[in-house]
Amino acid sequence: MAELLGFPPQVLFGQLLIGLINGSFYALLSLGLAIIFGLLNIINFAHGAQYMLGAFVAWLGLKFLGVNYWVSLILAPVVVAAIGIAIEKTMLRRLYKEDHLYGLLLTFGLALIIEGSFIHFFGVSGQPFSAPELLQGGNNLGFMFLPTYRAWIIVASLIICFGTWYMIERTKLGAYLRAGTENPQLLQAFGINVPLLITLTYGYGVALAAFAGVLAAPIYSVSPVMGSNLLIVVFAVVVIGGMGSIFGAIVTGLLMGLIEGLTKVFYPEASTTVIFLVMIIVLLIRPAGLFGKEA
Amino acid sequence: MSSDMKKDIEQLRIADLHAFYGESHILHGIDMKVNRGELVTLLGRNGSGRSTTLKSIMNMVGKRTGSIMVNGNETVGMPAHQIPHLGVGFCPEERGIFASLNVEENLMLPPTVRSGGMTLDEIYEMFPNLYERRMSPGTRLSGGEQQMLAMARILRTGANLLLLDEITEGLAPVIVQTLGEVLLKLKDKGLTIVLVEQNFRFAAPLADRHYLMEHGSIVEEIASNELEEKMDLLNTYLGV
């Protein structure tokens, strides 16, 4: 087999595929964070815990109630969104007028409590969760082997990300969301129920995290710490893309996954730090992020 | 339309309105009423409480007490998002055009609150500039066009009580003249208008009555036919 840039194509494409899959998760998670930050002004540190909850709801549903993967893919985000909505209505709502720091501390505390209780009951070792039969196996594309489930992750997250982007940028509901992000008081003065819009937006952002959690369950093991491991990188992605930019969150998520994958091929030692290096460079050159608006 | 033209229906009645931003007490017992089809101005210096009066009607201040009846409904204690649905359209001083929405999205943003609002076609006929620039981001428009957009936005909703805050501020004379023509057309349609205005020469020929405000209170009510004799008083308060 011919070599590509000095590496066997299987290695190069294999790592690019892994990068794209990680990027899909970065995109889904940073999209949810961006939407929540835009309207609520809350840096949702519970996002990783909510991603983990999505995976656990799917796992518990399968284990105890026999709920299959496809149902969980819808049901788990709904369940976790309901929990998120309860959190918003009882706690977050009181903090909108305060500094960002209060929301950050509250959601960070919640994340610790949720993760702590799950570690107490389930331990830190992962629980196995197998992909549905339809998505098992894979195809040999000639230059690489493509497992079906991994292809599904990329397709599903692209559909959800660009569907969300379309909803926000091209529909009436999205116009309310954009207007509410800019000037909630005036939107309210036009007769829109802004508190309800805020609640639903938080619910949707949380549902995105839970959806990513269910997608991740079959390839990463279902563990209470799966979210906190990922969240730090996702925050770096959000900072690189520009806080609050919807399009920026999606594109940067995918891009950072790919960069990470490429680094694994060319200089594996830096693969876990490369995103943070990019973050530092972006912050130095464009403090508002690649897609952010200068304040 | 004929019943809308009646001048004896109370569209807005405010009684003993006090408004607060945090600890500061801004309005000290406002009493005023506006009948259907009237155009009434709030005159006064900067900081006399005119904008706060409009914002209080929309429940956009920290706290308000007293009574604000809109089309016969008590609105003190009503959530802010329900008040527009009584038929109120608000045009804020800073115009409030959304930068992340294009012109047409800005226009279509406020929900219809009553039947009988202008259609999109009628609005584009009244403001041809907006049609030409309907796909531009809202804040790329000139100041005058943004003001037209802010007005047009509430005309579409069917609101029959318009609260307009400083709509001529910072605009070229020719645009101010166009706005005056628009207001006359709206008056002909039977809409009720409360106008906060710095430009007295713009407001005087349009208005039926004037309320003069000072330090968060109404100090004088002047009908348009009393304007001549009370000019001295007005000059004292407005400092022109």
Question: Is A175 within 8 Å of B113 when comparing Cβ atoms?
Answer: no
Q: Do B111 and A192 touch (CB under 8 A)?
A: yes
How distant is the Cα of A195 from the closest Cα of chain B, in angstroms? 9
Residues of the domain holding A193: 19-130+144-285
Report the chain B residue with the minimal C-alpha distance to residue A174.
Answer: B101
Is A183 in Cβ contact with B109 (below 8 Å)? Answer: no
pLDDT digits (tens, 9 = 90+) for A164-186: 999 999 999 999 999 999 999 99
For residue B87, give the 3-state DSSP assignment: coil
Residue A138 in any domain: the answer is: no
Asked if the Cβ–Cβ distance from B96 to A186 is below 8 Å, we say yes
**Closest approach of A24 to chain B, Cα-based (Å):** 26
Higher-scoring residue by pLDDT: A242, B146: B146
Residue A219 is predicted with a pLDDT of 92
Best A187, A190, A199, A247 member to test B by mutation, with max B CBs in 10 Å, is A190
**Among chain B residues, CA nearest to A170:** B105
Contact A179 B157 (CB under 8 A): no
pLDDT of amino acid B4: 45
**Cβ pairs A/B, distance under 8 A:** 56
Confidence of residue A292 (pLDDT cuts 50, 70, 90): confident
Contact at 8 Å (CB) between B164 and B154?
no
Interacting residues of A144 by C-beta distance below 8 A, sequence separation 6+: A9, A10, A13, A14, A17
* CA–centroid distance for A58 within its chain: 17
A282's CB contacts (< 8 A; 6+ apart) are: A239, A240, A289, A290
* Domain boundaries defined on chain B: 37-51+79-238
pLDDT value at B2 more than 50: no
Say whether pLDDT at A49 is over 70: yes
Q: Which of A254, A273, A249, A253 is nearest to A263 (CA)?
A: A273
In a domain, A7, yes or no: no
Task: Specify the CATH number for the domain of residue A177.
Answer: 1.10.3470
CB A25 within 8 A of CB A230: yes
Which chain A residues have any C-beta within 8 angstroms of a chain B C-beta? 172, 175-176, 178-179, 181-183, 185-194
Residues linked to residue B161 through DSSP beta bridges, in sequence order: B88, B192
Please give the pLDDT value at position B240.
Answer: 58
> Which residues on A lie below 8 Å from B108 (Cβ)?
172, 175
Domain count, chain A: 1
Q: How far apart are CA A189 and CA A270, in angstroms?
A: 52
Residue B158 falls in which region: left (phi positive, over 0), alpha (psi -120 to 50) or beta: left
The mean pLDDT of chain B is: 91
- CA-based nearest residue in chain A for residue B162: A190
Chain B residues touching A165 at Cβ < 8 A: none
CB contact under 8 A, A182 and B98: yes
Taking an 8 Å cut-off on Cβ atoms, the answer to whether B157 and A193 are in contact is no
The residue in chain A having the minimum alpha-carbon distance to the alpha carbon of residue B60 is A185
Residue A275 within any structural domain of the chain: yes
Nearest-CB residue to B84 (from A182, A185, A190): A190
Search chain A and give the residue with CA nearest B155.
Answer: A190
Closest chain B C-alpha to A186 CA, distance in angstroms:
7
Paired with A64 in beta bridges are none
CA distance B186 to B170: 22
| pLDDT score, position A188 | 95
Of B104, B118, B189, nearest to B156 (Cα)? B118
Q: What percentage of chain B exceeds 70 in pLDDT?
A: 97
3-state DSSP percent of chain B in helix, strand and coil, to 5: 35, 30, 35
**How many angstroms separate the CA of residue A188 from the nearest CA in chain B?**
5
Residues B125-137 as b/e (b if ≥16 CB within 10 A, e otherwise) read: ebbebbeebbeeb
Give the closest-approach CA distance of B5 to chain A in angstroms.
Answer: 25
- Burial label, B71 (beta-carbon count in 10 A; 0-12, 13-18, 19+): middle
Give the residue from B78, B109, B113 with the most A CB atoms within 10 Å of its CB, the best one to mutate.
B109
The predicted model gives B65-90 an average pLDDT of 95
Q: Which residues from B are below 8 Å from A182, CB to CB?
A: 98-100
Which of 3.90.199.10, 3.40.50.300, 3.50.50.60, 3.40.50.720 would CATH assign to domain B37-51+79-238? Answer: 3.40.50.300
User: Which residues of B lie inside 8 Å of A (Cβ-Cβ)?
Assistant: 58, 60, 79-85, 90, 92, 96, 98-101, 105, 108-111, 113, 153, 157
pTM attached to this predicted model: 0.90
Chain length of chain A = 295
| Nearest CA among B194, B183, B157 for reference residue B14 | B194
Give the number of other CB atoms < 10 A from CB of residue A51: 31
Q: What is the average pLDDT across B187-214?
A: 92
What are the two backbone dihedrals, phi and then psi, of residue A62, each rounded to the nearest 5 degrees? -70, -45
Q: Is the pLDDT of residue B3 over 80?
A: no
Q: Which one of B85, B105, B108 has the shortest CB-CB distance to A191?
A: B85
Decide if A193 is inside a domain.
Answer: yes
**Residues of chain B contacting residue A189, judged by C-beta atoms under 8 Å apart:** 58, 60, 80, 83-84, 90, 92
- The full DSSP string for B126-187 is H-HHHHHTTTSBGGGS-HHHHHHHHHHHHHTTT-SEEEEESTTTT--HHHHHHHHHHHHHHH
Q: Cβ contact (<8 Å) for B100 and A182?
A: yes
pLDDT in tens, A210-253: 999 999 999 988 999 999 889 999 999 999 998 778 888 999 99
Q: Note whether B96 contacts A183, CB cutoff 8 Å.
A: yes
Mean pLDDT (whole number) for B2-27: 82
pLDDT at A71 over 60: yes
Q: Minimal Cα–Cα distance from B36 to chain A, Å?
A: 21
